[in-house]
Homo-oligomer: A and B are copies of this chain.
């Protein structure tokens, strides 16, 4: 058995040093989905104010991913752009970006007291915090604290903005990224990731902004083999991102491991055809999505509250890790649905190549071999690779189908229905939508 990996707490090598040396870098899993289930993120807006409201929950999830084998801890700044934090009635601003004086006066802000209570390290001054700064800075601090306990780097992340969907111009959209970047620079993250972009045009703008920091930039799009929402192919997306300055390109979210690897394969071919070089990265869903259309799992009728039957097993993820490795992808992680044990599955599958197991393998035998300790003999008989490798797990849901027809409204950037608004969606707007959607 391979040794449990020891921590390199000091003198860590940078992301490009590692990848250039051919090392495998293991990403982390999906924060918004995991913390939604733990009770700290609201599905719909999906914003990360938990970094301020419940830092202990965010910290624990980082800790679990580190223990599972992650070499990269992404700051929990997904959708933490200013325009998203106050989109469609998500007035995070009102809760968080207030002066100390205001806070003290406003006893009635129930949640905020907890902020004060649990995160004593945040110092409030008389000058106003912006919500955006507060949330992003807290995210950086927590990620760094945990990263210091092991061999992991901190990556600051930006993602697509409501501003772009609402047709704001390049300058305005870039200003949104710029605000987050200022925090990342101040907090000195190790590198940057522009992730979860449906339009390569916006991703390129993000890379251009991040690149100014001088830090390495990775860029991933949430697309499948059909390409971005404007019809740009994965190969062309990769080429544009590398030309804009990304050292690492790939995909994240929206599709399952199999489809995502196929998309990265197309990116790799595009780069080769253009004689460009970049490291490849893959952070797919841990949900099976064979029935997705162009826009991925958002369109599935089960999104986001009925996806359970699609959750990947650890064995599905081991197969994914192997395929990703075989294609030449070296930055291998996950996105929505990836729990700590899925990340551990990557680390266990690639343990022979890496030479060590993650800490969390202390509690997990390779391919189920700890079942030899089970009380029941027929469960002990499952303590072997060929059993789990070949299992076709039943759903226990004989009244449910295997695949769904995704909603396909065919609208993207520029469509009236995608214009974002600060106010909550009105009853009338909802009624119109219900009517439009044939149930």
The answer for the CA separation of A127 and B298 in the assembled complex, in Å, is 59
Query: CA–CA, A295 to B296, complex, Å?
Result: 29
Q: Is the CB of A402 within 8 A of B396?
A: yes
Chain A residues bordering chain B, tally (CB within 8 A) = 110
Do B403 and A392 touch across chains, with their CB atoms under 8 A apart? no
Residue-wise, chain A 50-63 has the 8 Å CB interface mask toward B (1 for contact) of: 00000011001001
CA of A133 to CA of B382, assembled, Å? 32
Is A8 positioned at the interface, with any CB of B under 8 Å from its CB?
no
Residue pair A341, B309 in contact (C-beta under 8 Å): no
Contact residues in B for A433 (Cβ distance below 8 Å): 377-378, 380-381
Given A43-B364, A362-B111, A396-B288, A315:B305 Cβ within 8 A: yes
Q: Which of A41, A90, A291, A439 has the most CB of B within 10 A?
A: A439
**Which stretch of A175-183, A218-226, A325-333, A383-391 is in the interface?**
A383-391
Residues of B close to A36: CB separation below 8 A: 341, 363
A120 beta carbon closer than 8 Å to chain B = no
- What residues on B are CB-neighbors of A309 within 8 Å? 308-311, 393-397
Mark the stretch among A135-143, A207-215, A367-375 that contacts chain B.
Answer: A367-375
Asked if residues B391 and A301 are in contact (CB atoms below 8 Å), the reply is: yes
CB distance from A356 to the nearest CB of B (A): 13
A window 41-77: CB within 8 A of B: 41-45, 56-57, 60, 63-64, 67-68
Chain B: which residue is nearest A60 at the CB level?
B60
Partner of A417, one of B60, B304, B377: B377
* Cβ-defined contact, B402 with A393, below 8 A: no
Asked whether any CB of chain B lies closer than 8 Å to the CB of A269, the reply is no
CB–CB A44/B371 < 8 A: yes
Question: Footprint of B on A, CB under 8 Å?
Answer: 4, 36-45, 56-57, 60, 63-64, 67-68, 87-90, 110-111, 162, 165, 256, 287-291, 298-315, 339-341, 344, 359-360, 362-365, 368, 370-384, 386-388, 390-405, 407, 409, 411, 417-418, 420, 424-425, 429-430, 433-434, 436-437, 439
